[in-house]
Amino acid sequence: ERDQIRSNLKEIYERESRVLREAKESAVQELDRERSRTAEAKQAHQALLTSHRDMETKLSNQVVEARSQLKIKLFELDRVSLQWEEAMAVQGADKMEKDGLVRKLEMLKQEYYKIDGEGVKKNSMLAARCEEQARRIRHYEQLEKELDMAILESGAAKDTASSDQMAVVLSLIHISEPTRLLSISYAVFCLKKKKQTTYN
């Protein structure tokens, strides 16, 4: 029976030893797999850290560039605002100048119409005066013709009384119508000379 028990114990021991060895081998394989997974996880973590650092650096550079662009845009906005204010001021000044020029133009138009009306009146008056002067000139020309005829007739007259009467008429014409003073004075002189010659 002892041998039987020893044999059973030995079988049990060998079976447990075999199970333990298999469990150990399985645990060692699992440990190796876990170590491999841990190494892979560490590599992935390191890669993620590197990517995260690169991303942070890139984002930081983008933020710096965006801030720089924002400053530039703000400066341009301020410059455009100043230009707009200046343009509005210039536009206001131009509008005021335009209004002043429009008022001045209206005043000049009114003055022009007034001067034009006065010019029309003056032209009418001058035309009337010219017409009057033309009428007087025609009248004077007629008088000159009559005077020429009278001078000729007085020169040809032999009667002293007629000559004296003609001299008086010429003297009156000489006083009242100073158109041909030289001719009339000469005619009067001739008549007086003729009268003196006749008396002598």
**152-188: b (≥16 Cβ within 10 Å) or e:** eebeeeeeeeebeebbeebbebbeeeebbeeebeebb
Q: Which pTM does this prediction carry?
A: 0.37
Q: How distant, in Å, are the alpha carbons of 83, 104, 151, 190 from that of 185?
A: 89, 62, 11, 9
Closest CA to 186 of 173, 199, 176: 173
Closest CA to 147 of 184, 195, 198, 191: 184
Q: Which residue has the tokens 């009467």?
A: 165
> Who has greater pLDDT, 139 or 59?
59
pLDDT at 13: 84
Are the C-beta atoms of 151 and 187 separated by less than 8 Å?
yes
What does the pLDDT look like over 95-138, one tens digit per residue?
A: 999 999 999 999 999 999 999 888 889 888 999 888 888 888 88
**Token pair in block for residue 171:** 């003297």
pLDDT mean over 162-173: 53
Q: What angle do CA 125, 127, 129 make, to 5 degrees?
A: 70
Burial class for 195, CB neighbours closer than 10 Å (0-12, 13-18, 19+): middle
pLDDT at residue 170 tops 70: no
Which residue type, as a one-letter code, is found at position 182? L
The separation between the first and the last C-alpha atoms of the chain, rounded to the nearest angstrom, is: 228
